[in-house]
Structure 1
Amino acid sequence: MIEPIYWLNGRLVSAAEAVIPLNDHGLLYGDGVFEGIRFYNRRPFRLADHLERLELSARALMLALPHRTALEAAVTETIAAFAGADGYLRLVITRGAGSLGLDPGHCERPSLFVIADKVTLVSESRRRSGLDLITASTRRPGPTVLDPRIKSLNYLNNILAKLEARRAGADEALLLNERGQVAEGTAENLFIARRGRLCTPPVSDGALDGITRGIVLELCRQEGIEAVERSLTPYDVHTADECFLCGTGAELLPVRTVDGRPMGHCPGPLTERVRRAYQAIIELETTTRSEQ
């Protein structure tokens, strides 16, 4: 069995050493940012995009980050120590240790850690046959509350929606914003297909500005598939020809039902076409390009 690898504040550490102080504001208040990063063939996929989003999230929270070269070095060292060629990284930066109370001014130094491990969000059979979704009663905060482009450690409403899905016997949940429009899944962006066109909610409706979401839109342009960002309601999802979720951890996952309503196709032809193109670009960027 492949064991996780831990990198903490400048060095690789054992599981017993992988600890942060109890007064770290990331633990006490969810004050920090993170990125989930896939690596294939020991090469991090779209690392520059992930680090740019991390830097923007940290800037929004006025959280100091190490220089990008230091972040890249931490990622490289962690992957090199991992026993598997493919895996998942969680790169986290917290505000650091400080006194009790919300004021982050008492936190002297951020804490940076990286975890490398395997991640399996759904079984292989579910990945092939498709997921069952519900619409959660938990709402996604909009940009006027907390901009969804900030990938912070505050995931409580996502967790509540996930618990709701589990209680309902579903695989995943859709979160709506305060206006009743579809935002995203608990940890993935959403695409639907209707009459040969893909649609995904805009960031302004509460969707994370997902790296995989951006790759899907990029691939659609290359493949000649019409894809647009527009507001969606549950009706649009319920009556879609196809639906899939996408994210770094999830990659691309077809959806077979939403609130008990079956999709027209699962996996549908557009879903399969995008999924093949996505796997091809992973292979290109983590194998072919690395050998040039």
Structure 2
Amino acid sequence: MGVVIWSNGRLHGPEDLLLSGVDHGLTVGDGVFETCAVYDGTAFALSRHLRRLERSALGLGLAAPDEGAVREGVAAVLADAGPEVGRLRITLTGGPGPLGSHRFAPEEQRQSILVLAGPGARSEVSRVVRVPWVRNERSSVAGLKTTSYAENVVAVAEAYRRGADEAVLANTVGELCEGTASNVFVERDGELVTPPLSSGCLAGITRELLLEWSAAVGLPVREAAPGELRYEVLDEVADGSAHLMMSGSIRNVSPVVSLDGVDIDAGPVSLEAQRLFQARLADDLDP
């Protein structure tokens, strides 16, 4: 299937020209976005994603998105996309702006909103590599889901070059942080531990739900204390004394079976977390 796009109250095809050449999202990456998995024609956890879209927009200094317009676009693309659709993307930019990084005055701004639906391939397992680049946990956009994605493009290209599907990053002080488009969990001593938001990682929706759902059933999944997970913990994963798991909106909860090109075992708690997430997902598509 192709990609269906909604913008300004109308449906469009992928070849339609929708943005100005001076759109600030295009010229300087002044925008935010969300990606949702789609099941049976419904965007999963849409309300949580829309709340995070607003947080990212406000954190970037943009006005809050028009939720009614976004939901209109979501309904339109999902109705038109057909049953095989697997992914939804919502993008909000600052709209037409100056060629430099400064924005027009608020009263002159005209945001661009695009909603897209298309295919979304999933895999039950992940294959990851370590890369030399880091997340800046002190960045002005740390924890925001912005369209300024060049660092991720470079890192995931390196992962694919090495036969993996994700890269795992440290932050500037040597703590384990996140993947390019996923959160990371380390399984050791019978529990799953994920870096705290202070590490600079994104507050992932799947991460959030797994923490909530695990607490409800007593599965040992928790957020680490600051500094608890050093990047060197991946050496323990490599030698088999610990395990690794990734989470994200398309991959859901995905045990890691390869690190730096070497096969590793999925951990038992990781596999149980995967089963729990899939079961709860089926119960409620907008938890």
1:131 and 2:131 are equivalent in the alignment? no
The answer to whether the 8 A contact 1:7-1:13 is kept is yes
Structure 1 residues 150-189: aligned runs within 5 Å: 150-189=144-183
The DSSP-based 3-state class of the residue aligned with 1:74 is helix
CA distance in 2, matches of 1:16, 1:156: 23
- Once the two structures are superposed, what CA deviation does each residue of 1:69-111 show, in whole Å capped at 9, x if it has no partner? 2222221121111112552111001111123222211663010
Q: In the alignment, what sits opposite 2:233?
A: 236
- 1-structure distance, mates of 2:167, 2:48: 26
State the 1:211 CA deviation: 0.2
Where does residue 28 of structure 1 map in the other structure?
27
Supply the AA of the counterpart residue of 1:146. Answer: S
Q: Tell me the matched-pair count.
A: 278
Q: Deviations over 1:187-240 (max 9, x none)?
A: 100011112111000111121100000011112112211222224123323314
- On the 8 A contact 2:164/2:261 being kept in 1, the answer is no
Check whether the contact 1:140–1:157 (CA below 8 A) recurs between aligned residues.
no
Partner of 2:101: 102
Query: CA separation in 2, counterparts of 1:42 and 1:262?
Result: 35
Q: Identity, % of aligned pairs?
A: 34
Structure 1, unpaired ranges of 5+: none
Residue identity matched to 1:244 = M
Q: How does 1:1-292 map to 2 (within 5 A)?
A: 2-84=1-83, 86-105=85-104, 108-120=109-121, 124=123, 127=124, 130-142=125-137, 144-230=138-224, 231-240=228-237, 241-259=242-260, 263=264, 265-266=265-266, 268-286=267-285
* In 1, Cα distance between equivalents of 2:203 and 2:278: 21
TM-score scaled to structure 2, two decimals? 0.89
Structure 2, unaligned stretches of length 5 or more?
none
- Three-state SS of the structure 2 residue aligned to 1:209 is coil
Root-mean-square deviation (Å) = 2.1
Between stretches 54-63 and 223-232, larger displacement belongs to 223-232
C-alpha offsets along residues 14-60 of structure 1, whole Å, 9 cap, x if unaligned? 33324211111101100000000112112221111100000111111
Q: Take 1:56 and 1:151, find their aligned partners in 2: how far apart are those partners?
A: 9
In 2, distance between residues paired with 1:47 and 1:17? Answer: 26
